[in-house]
Amino acid sequence: FDEIFVRRSPGYQEQQNVRIEGEVLFGGDYILSHKGERLSDLVKKAGGLRPEAYVQGARLTRQLNQDEKSRIEALLKFSKQSNKDSIDMNRLDIGNSYYVGIQLSEALKNPGSEYDIILREGDVLRVPEYTGTVRISGAVMYPNTVVYKSGAGLNHYIEQGGGFADRAKKKKVFIVYMNGTVSKPRTFAKAKIAPGCEII
């Protein structure tokens, strides 16, 4: 009646992969070799950034884990019960991934800081080439993509889209940046326009 117990090694974890794409020397899949590996560690593994890299536009795509999926499904279930809107909640697709708004330039300047977020299984870091354009979409007369002009304000770009359409909600303008962050300026004067962003 002997009983043999084989304990799990406290340091053991299954192999986890992350990916880096775009303007880095050695793009591709990399293994998370230890817990707590961060954005700056992944960029180092990939040999650093190329001169053409637009660090401010870097974006992280993350896979939904089981806990996150359960929470979203619970929220959707609650919305179905209490929602009186015309949207059919059954047709909403939660997908398997989402964007994480990052500031890679700050992460590389200050490794280990709050900007240098910890990676997890399935993360994909995309470092784009510099894009010197701004996209204007939504309720404007002519949705358009125009050349980025340093120092130009929000009004300049909306005019490049032909100005506001008749049904535009002028106080609801927001900006989506390449890195996945979103900004809703309080006033047009305080709006920060960056290369590669989209004004909606």
- With a cut of 90, say whether residue 151 has pLDDT above it: no
> Percent of the chain having pLDDT more than 70?
92
- pLDDT for residue 160 is more than 70: yes
| Residue 113: per-residue pLDDT | 92
Counting residues of the chain whose pLDDT is more than 90, the rounded percentage is 56
Average pLDDT (123-130) is 92
- Sheet architecture: strand order including 97-100: 28-31, 17-22, 124-127, 59-63, 97-100
User: Any idea which of 25-39, 50-64, 86-100, 158-172 has the lowest mean pLDDT?
Assistant: 86-100
For residue 86, what pLDDT is reported?
A: 47
3-state secondary structure 89-150: HHHCCCCCEEEECCCHHHHHHCCCCCCCCECCCCCEEEECECCCEEEECCCECCCEEEECCC
Model confidence at 88, pLDDT cuts 50, 70, 90, reads low
Q: Mention every residue, 6+ apart, whose C-beta is less than 8 A from residue 32.
A: 16, 17, 18, 119, 120, 121
Tens of pLDDT along 175-191? 999 888 898 988 888 88
- Residues 188 and 196: their CA atoms lie apart, in Å, by 19
